[in-house]
Chain A
Amino acid sequence: MSRATVPNPRRPREDVLSKLTPVVTKRWLSPGAWKIDVYEQLDGYRALRKALRHNPADLIAFMKESGHRGRGGAGFPVGMKWQFVPDDGNDHYLVVNADEGEPGTCKDLPLMMNDPHSVIEGIAIASYAIKADRAFVYVRGEAVHAARRLRHAVAEAKAAGYLGKDILGSGFDLDIVIHSGAGAYICGEETALLDSLEGLRGQPRLRPPFPATHGLYQKPTCINNVGTIAAVPHIVLGGAEWWKSLGSENAAGTMIYSLSGRVVNPGQYECRLGTTLSELIELAGGMQEGHELKYFTPGGSSTPLLTAEHLDVPLDFDNVAKAGSILGTTAIMVFSDQDCPVLSCWRWLKFYQHESCGKCTPCREGNYWMVRVYERILSGEGAESDLKLLENACGNLLGRAFCGLGDGATSCVTSSLKYFRQDYLDYIEGTKPPLFDAELIGAH
């Protein structure tokens, strides 16, 4: 395999630097942007005023026109999602998914901590568009500081007349509840989130019916990711053409690429959608010394691994799909020749095994048994037939569970078998020393 060496310049080249496009992240630099007075000085709540001058239907048409797609992993067109909520005069809800937990993903937390009012303003605009007078933000339990600042932002916005009754004299009412979860990855799945918000175990629901018609309390509900919502005020202010101009040909807007792992400067890099890994690594100061790129997740652990041959794939929805993976949450975990894809997969599967809610047999049992097969291989007790066994297990898991958790678990397995079969064989054939003691883990 050609392992492209990424240049490690002190300062990225100009054309690479120009991919940086701070929009959603730009206020993070301003200390105190989480306070309403600073937020207002930085264009805050200007978009809400503008939105309230329009009909909800126009706002939905505008959002469709902007090409804005969900930032939570699935990339669903936002305007279309808003339009699905029936305009029937009944109770409607907006639920914001802030249960960030996909391994590798770390962009929502800094957003909520540093710019919570953008979330609140986005919620107000979206709720107005879908005619919801109550919104819930389901924040990951562990994100205590984010919840603290969001709750404070709600109180400040209410005192300033941006929430509550008759917002800015428009006749539109809205209350927001910040609801902390309690530690369950599955609650990032939208229907499991709804069950959790209703005070149940977080287990996914069978669809149809979809949340747009039968969501929270079986009422029409729009569920948007927190990053999706936080971009809304910017799009409303800048306009559809402006937002489209920030992306690539087939994908509108900017994206927060989260780089972690074997790069010199891990972190959040908001760039045009369609920036390549090669460019992102250059922005992040290059690979760490002594490390060569071996594999990466384009969008969290549930997206199939890509390799050094994909360094120049524009990381947008369509191009990543063409390369055989999923853009997901643009959580790019960079692994090098010093990391072992078999070990990585084992650890990810342990995660999926732990987080499987247990509802669907293929996911509950499949992950449990795959972890054991990995442990057999990593303890030097595996056989070549185990690779077939893993492929079979994935075939019986993919598409056979209520939600995407089961599908996600198979991503790293099938992709690593595709690209790194030899790494598995090294343990099986004994050319690489076992990582585990077979006795200790009870491999057989």
Chain B
Amino acid sequence: MSYPDKIHQQAAEIIARYPEGRSRSALLPLLHLVQSHDGYVSEDGIAFCAEALDITKAQVQAVSTFYTMYKREPAGDWLVSVCTNTLCHAKGGQKIFDELSGELNVGHDETTADGQITLEHAECLAACDYAPVVTVNYEFFDNMDEAGAVDLVRQLKEGKRPFPSRGAPLCTLKETSVQLAGFDDEREAALEGDAQGEATLAGNRLAAEAGITAPQFDPDAPLVEKEEAK
């Protein structure tokens, strides 16, 4: 097994997050961690997790195969996920998927010949108010259409990093996996990534324009009738 020291250190940090004797809780983050090194959950990665947690490889594999974010084959730098669940489907998500499938010449959960882009159809991505929605490495490209999606993957192929509508500037899937393992994104701009989309603020803006606020309250009002000070 040939993982660098940094991965071993990070594994130890992950395990330390959980209560003593409960190290198995670290398995999901550890699987994200090995994926950050290998680009998928490899045989070596499974063995690494098993050894770190003192469980069997079969136990690790039973878990890694249960969750869709753990990839069984090497994934590209850019994971393009197209929501094709009912609402996005109705608003054109399936057409976007089909268009991208043709453009990239891959099907669901497949990676382009040059190894750069993995395409998948995704279940609801919790952005129905921006349907149809596409994510790249889980950052949102909202209100997509077929032409926009093709332009997006062409830019990726050209080595550009188009800016998401909501979320942080793109980093590679391996880099994203480090964050999924529970480590900070070290890029300063990442946290600043915008999350205030139009739909997110729709109700708020309407209320603000109309001068509507929730009724005022007295923040010092007692919680219970006979307030007992501690």
Contacts and interface: CB of A to CB of B under 8 A. Distances in A.
Q: Do A and B come from one complex?
A: yes
Nearest to A149: B191
Q: Is the interface of B mostly helix, strand, loop or mixed?
A: loop
A197 B205 CA distance: 38
Among A17, A100, A110, the one with the most B-chain Cβ atoms within 10 Å of its Cβ is A110
Given A53-B229, A246-B215, A22 B207 contact: yes
A70 B127 CA distance: 21
Interface string B71-94: 000000000010011110111000
B182 interface: yes
Contacts of A268: 129, 199-204
Interface residues of B, number: 87
B210 A344 contact: no
Contacts of A259: 129
Contacts of A104: 87, 124, 128
Interface in A7-28: 11-12, 14, 17-18, 20-23, 25-26, 28
A283 interface: yes
B190 interface: yes
A155 B191 CA distance: 13
A436 to B, nearest CB: 12
B92 to A, nearest CB: 12
A347 B82 CA distance: 14
Interface stretch (A135-143, A385-393, A400-408): A135-143
A12 B206 contact: yes
Given A53-B229, A55-B228, A114-B195, A43 B128 contact: no
Contacts of A267: 129, 198-203
Interface string A48-79: 00111111001101100100000000000000
Contacts of A183: 67-70
B167 A145 contact: yes
Given A148-B190, A180-B182, A198-B22, A113 B166 contact: yes
Given A46-B219, A183-B67, A198-B22, A260 B87 contact: yes
A137 to B, nearest CB: 11
Contact of A148 (B63, B191, B202): B191
Q: Which of B26, B185, B204, B212 has the most CB of A within 10 A?
A: B204
B124 A101 contact: yes
Contacts of B90: 261, 335, 339, 344
A441 interface: no
A321 interface: no
B19 interface: yes
B105 interface: no
Interface stretch (A235-243, A361-369, A370-378): A235-243
Interface in A322-351: 331, 333, 335, 339, 343-344, 347-348, 351
Nearest to B69: A183
Given A17-B212, A254-B214, A54 B223 contact: yes
Interface string A100-137: 11111110111001100000000000000000001000
B201 A144 contact: no
A45 interface: no
B219 A237 contact: yes
B156 interface: no
Contacts of A147: 179-180
Interface stretch (A158-166, A199-207, A419-427): A199-207
A180 B185 CA distance: 14
Contacts of B140: 145
Interface stretch (B2-10, B96-104, B130-138, B145-153): B130-138
Nearest to A242: B217
Contacts of B69: 141-142, 181-183
Contacts of A236: 223
Contacts of B114: none
Nearest to B25: A199
A163 to B, nearest CB: 14
A93 B27 CA distance: 19
Contact of B200 (A46, A114, A141, A198): A114
A184 interface: yes
Contact of B123 (A260, A331, A355): A355
Given A28-B201, A145-B167, A260-B129, A151 B66 contact: no
A358 B196 CA distance: 38
Nearest to A260: B128
A423 to B, nearest CB: 14
A173 interface: no
Closest 5 CB pairs of A and B: A267-B202, A199-B27, A182-B67, A269-B203, A267-B199
Given A179-B28, A184-B67, 17 more contacts: A20-B206, A62-B223, A106-B128, A145-B140, A198-B24, A199-B24, A200-B63, A201-B66, A238-B217, A239-B223, A245-B215, A257-B203, A261-B91, A265-B202, A267-B200, A344-B90, A348-B86
6 contacts: A43-B219, A103-B123, A145-B166, A180-B29, A199-B24, A201-B63
